[in-house]
Structure 1
Amino acid sequence: MQDIVYSTVGFVHLVAALASLLLGTMVLALQKGGRRHKRLGYAYVSCLLVMLGTSFGIYRQYQGFGIFHVAALLSAVTLGAGMVPVLRKKPARTWRTLHYSFMYLSVLELYVALVAEVLVRMPGWSFWEVVGASVAVVGVPGAVLFGRLRRRWQRSRRPQVAAEVYA
């Protein structure tokens, strides 16, 4: 465990990241709009905020502010862009699409970050190889699925669950 987690902050970050991955996946896969969706969604947001906050206490890899900190800032923007429309219910005609789209992208970013985090620890991988592999393995298939889901979300008031896309 010492080779994966180097501090208490790193441990909290890891636990929050794993919880965010699990909760975010559940929110995407389950029916939208109900009590369970909202509870799991707020749990996801809470865990992700802890993960993002603790990321700024981890400086081992770059001995200072690094590319993963930039990714954390971008993830925070994506999360905010997904939550503001649902909290305000504005713009009236598109808030649902904005919420679903940005929250989907938020979870997708987590999976890209997971692959990047694993690959960056493997000897012999350059930064750009890590980026390319992460985008190829997670980003491209995730973007294709997002395109299919988004079209369905725009056609209906309540979006389809992810499992129904291929049914």
Structure 2
Amino acid sequence: MSRTLITGLVFSAVTIFAVLAISPAGMHPGGFNVTQAADASETGVVNEGRENQESELQKLLFERKKVLSRIVESMKLFLESGRVDFNEYRDANIALLRAEMDMCRNREERLEIMQKIIQFHSEYETQVTRRAAEGRATEMDVNKAKVTRLEARIELIREKLKGPS
């Protein structure tokens, strides 16, 4: 796979995520289309429509995760052979972890995935710092890696501050 094709696949996965995020059903399994709810004359019809949407959402989330898993597997091979850089590999892995987080059914699972994201960013920061010491990366690259790790950590702490939901 060429770098352009891989980048296109990652972009497509992110685009699907964005479309789901702004759709009337939203990204949450509890979301539903208000228009459909208003048109339904019986509660059973509303619940059935909601169950269908929840089922469809779960299928889409699972399919996205499966596609991203294949992308990450390919990226790992390409990284080892020098055909992609670590930034692309990192982006694909983070997209996969975020897809897994969208499938979580409870807060504890989400917190666990957030911790994995922080770990991945920490490993990336270590690698970029090592590469900078060898003259193969810039101080700006190190700072960018640090910021992404800090942002992930901030996201985790904010989630913890929300408390159980």
- Scaled by the length of structure 2, what TM-score is found? 0.42
- Scaled by the length of structure 1, what TM-score is found? 0.41
Which structure has the greater CA radius of gyration?
Answer: 2
Higher helix share: 2
> Which one has more relative contact order, counting CA pairs under 8 Å at least 6 apart?
1
